[in-house]
């Protein structure tokens, strides 16, 4: 798998940095966000290093589908029963903070209303 030795998410995938994992398979990893915006806030990342959605091509369609498809089950398992939100920030202007593609999945009361 392609990895960036300076990327914090690649280090999490490699087991060099701990994370509170909720799902892992051969292609993706999901874990709790350390700065949550909602009662349940997980990140779903590809194990291979893709910088952002701007780097995604047709060859990534199955991977992106897998990232989206796993989230309903994960949110149910985490107790989210009244809906959830998906957010992917892309690039600096899109407010992406970690330059490794990641899907935020937020649930619980008003997950988009931080504070």
Name residues whose C-beta falls within 8 Å of residue 2's C-beta, 6 or more positions apart in sequence: 48, 49, 50
Name residues whose C-beta falls within 8 Å of residue 52's C-beta, 6 or more positions apart in sequence: 90, 91, 94, 96, 99, 101
Helix (H, G, I), strand (E, B) or coil at 32: strand
Q: What sign for the dihedral angle of Cα 40, 82, 69, 54? A: negative
27 is catalytic: no
Beta strand extents in the chain (DSSP E only): 21-24, 28-32, 40-46, 84-87, 103-107
Instruction: Choose the catalytic residue: 41, 49, 100, 102.
Output: 102
Could you give the residue numbers annotated as active site? 102
């Amino acid at each position: 798998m392609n990895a960036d030795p300076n990327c914090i998410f690649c280090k999490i995938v490699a087991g060099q940095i701990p994370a509170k994992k909720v799902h892992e398979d051969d292609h993706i990893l999901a874990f709790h966000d350390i700065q949550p915006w909602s009662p349940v806030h997980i990140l779903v990342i590809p194990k291979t290093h893709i910088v952002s959605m701007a780097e995604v091509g047709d060859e990534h369609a199955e991977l992106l589908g897998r990232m989206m498809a796993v989230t309903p089950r994960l949110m149910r398992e985490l107790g989210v029963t009244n809906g959830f939100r998906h957010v992917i920030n892309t690039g600096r202007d899109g407010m992406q903070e970690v330059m490794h593609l990641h899907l935020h999945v937020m649930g619980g009361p008003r997950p988009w209303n931080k504070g």
